């Protein structure tokens, strides 16, 4: 018999928005080098909540790659404040990505000099996908318009990802606090998946997570584990979930790129947590 492992998850800083009391999506923002938390402004944008709650439809028929922006620029000579830099980014680029036309996940870092309050550098990390065929045509036009155009003294580059690799991790056990940040782990599993783009991953994996992962009905949740993990996983998780009060699902995205560096992982990650205290037996099954 395997002994339980004490696993500590450091999920700070993070925010969580809940659809129901037992459902949560954790936003994890990792601060990249050389930024420091006491001299960096962070701006985050995502419409995953709208996709998951059904207010946006996924009815695209055109094959179109996920597009990525991953740029860092030193801008100390421009003598701008970070608020101005962020406003420029919103006006130049983010205003083009409508929440009704795209799924997007964006994080912007702006580091500043604490003595002068002026921006030293900024970084944009984003990936986005059109939600329907009309949005594909719109995306082609604005990508062509912006790609290579000067932005704050350097070319603005939008790249097409060739594939998406997803490492899907799950941990189930007893949460030691209400946030699930410390978990007495009973079971861990991992599977890898490859998708042509993030749109396919959202439509196939993420919608299924929302439909079946947040359930304590064995007829719903156990087939989910067998589908996404391994053969007979339903039998394993029938035992594990019956003594677990928290399950954390972590899909780690890595986009494969044609230009160096040949892999891109966003610093803004989204994980799915299932809190089970609301059920009569306080457990996940």
pLDDT band, residue 16 (cuts 50/70/90) = very low
Give one word for 54, left, alpha or beta, with left for phi > 0 and alpha for psi -120 to 50: left
Does 42 share its domain with 153? Answer: yes
For residue 225, the SS3 value is helix
Q: 280 lies in a domain?
A: no
Name the domain count of the chain: 2
Contacts of 139-144 with C-beta under 8 Å, sequence gap 24+, read 139/64, 139/67, 139/101, 139/102, 142/96, 143/67
Q: What's the confidence (pLDDT) of residue 4?
A: 33
At 68, list the tokens: 């990525």
Average pLDDT taken over every residue of the chain: 89
Q: Which of 7-11, 166-170, 195-199 has the lowest mean pLDDT?
A: 7-11
Residue 115's domain comprises 34-157
**Of the residues 130, 157, 184, the one at which a domain ends:** 157
pLDDT at 138 over 90: yes
Residue closest to 105 by CA, chosen among 273, 266, 254: 266
Does 146 share its domain with 240? Answer: no
More confident residue, 50 or 1: 50
Q: What's the confidence (pLDDT) of residue 22?
A: 53
Does 221 share its domain with 130? Answer: no
DSSP string, 97-123: S-TTTEEEEEEEEEEE-TTT--EEEEE
Does 52 share its domain with 136? Answer: yes
């Amino acid at each position: 018999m395997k002994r339980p492992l004490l696993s500590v998850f450091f999920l700070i800083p993070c925010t969580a928005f809940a659809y129901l009391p037992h459902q949560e999506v954790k936003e994890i923002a990792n601060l990249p080098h050389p930024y420091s938390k006491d001299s960096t402004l962070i701006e985050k944008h995502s419409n995953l909540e709208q996709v998951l709650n059904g207010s946006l439809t996924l009815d695209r028929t055109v094959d179109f790659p996920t597009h990525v922006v991953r740029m860092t620029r030193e801008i100390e000579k421009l003598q701008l404040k970070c608020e101005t830099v962020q406003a420029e980014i919103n006006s130049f680029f983010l205003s083009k990505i409508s929440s009704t036309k795209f799924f997007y996940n964006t994080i912007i870092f702006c580091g500043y000099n604490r003595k002068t309050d002026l921006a030293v550098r900024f970084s944009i990390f984003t990936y986005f996908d059109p939600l329907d065929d009309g949005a594909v045509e719109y995306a082609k036009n604005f990508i062509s318009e912006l790609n290579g155009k000067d932005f704050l003294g350097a070319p603005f580059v939008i790249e097409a990802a060739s594939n998406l690799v997803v490492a899907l991790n799950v941990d189930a056990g007893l949460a030691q606090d209400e946030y699930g940040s410390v978990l007495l782990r009973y079971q861990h599993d991992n599977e890898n998946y490859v998708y042509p783009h993030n749109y396919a991953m959202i439509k196939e994996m993420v919608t299924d997570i929302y439909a079946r992962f947040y359930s304590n009905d064995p007829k719903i949740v156990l087939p989910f584990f067998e589908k996404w993990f391994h053969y007979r996983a339903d039998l394993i998780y029938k035992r594990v979930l019956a003594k677990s009060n928290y399950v954390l699902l972590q899909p780690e995205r890595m986009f494969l790129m044609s230009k160096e560096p040949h892999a891109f992982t966003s610093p803004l990650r989204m994980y799915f947590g299932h809190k089970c205290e609301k059920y009569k037996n306080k457990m996940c099954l």
